[in-house]
């Protein structure tokens, strides 16, 4: 399954994490990540089958989001591979919680560029990402998974969509 996360401004983030092993608790437990960030006629970023995150990093991102949603302090997390940075920021006075997700653009040749895509996730967006991470880590019950499928947030995947690099 993959996550189809609609953000404000008609931006869609599609994320699929594969090869997560719940039994491995040490480092060097790389997961394959597919990531698409799209806005019609403006943005079409694609990253496929990349060892972007380790299992423990997925759990750490999940923890950061849980902490933020529970009213925790602002924090920044940058996984080992320098593809992404996650920053939770409570907006005091406005009662708004945000998660900034900075994605470094891959050069296509061994390294990232200094250019980034900066996404802003609000409370509901954060909850959807958290639900997906709970699904990946095996902490999401079947009823919750079905609700997310019914809402179109979790999409069942037979793998064909990723091979042709298109999402409908």
3-class DSSP assignment, residue 21: coil
| pLDDT confidence band for 168 (50 / 70 / 90) | very low
Q: Given pLDDT bands bounded at 50, 70 and 90, which one contains residue 89?
A: confident
pLDDT digit string, tens, across residues 30-62: 888 999 999 999 999 888 888 888 888 999 999
- Kindly indicate the confidence band of residue 152, based on its pLDDT and cuts at 50, 70 and 90: confident
Contact 58/31 with Cβ under 8 angstroms? yes
Q: Is the pLDDT of residue 71 over 80?
A: yes
Q: Are the C-beta atoms of residues 29 and 56 closer than 8 Å to each other?
A: yes
Q: What are all long-range contacts of 31-36, with beta carbons under 8 Å and residues at least 24 apart?
A: 31/55, 31/58, 34/2, 34/162, 35/103, 36/12, 36/167
- Per-residue b/e over 72-97, b at no fewer than 16 CB within 10 Å? eeeeeeebebebbbbbbeeeeeeeeb
pTM: 0.86
Pairwise pLDDT comparison (103 vs 96), residue with the higher score = 103
Largest CA-CA distance found in the chain, in angstroms, rounded: 46
């Amino acid at each position: 399954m993959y996550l189809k996360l609609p953000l404000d401004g008609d931006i869609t983030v599609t994320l699929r994490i594969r090869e997560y092993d719940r039994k491995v608790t040490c480092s060097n437990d790389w997961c394959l990540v597919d990531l698409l960030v799209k806005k019609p006629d403006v943005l079409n970023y694609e990253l496929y089958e990349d060892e972007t995150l380790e299992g423990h990093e997925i759990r750490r991102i999940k923890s950061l989001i849980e902490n933020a949603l529970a009213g925790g302090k602002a924090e920044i997390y940058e996984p080992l591979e320098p593809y992404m940075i996650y920053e939770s920021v409570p907006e005091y006075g406005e009662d708004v919680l945000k998660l900034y997700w900075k994605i470094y653009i891959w050069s296509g040749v061994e390294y990232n560029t200094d250019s980034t895509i900066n996404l802003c996730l609000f409370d509901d967006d954060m909850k959807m990402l958290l639900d997906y991470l709970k699904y990946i880590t095996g902490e999401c019950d079947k009823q919750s998974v079905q609700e997310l499928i019914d809402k179109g947030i979790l999409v069942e995947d037979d793998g064909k969509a990723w091979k042709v690099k298109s999402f409908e």
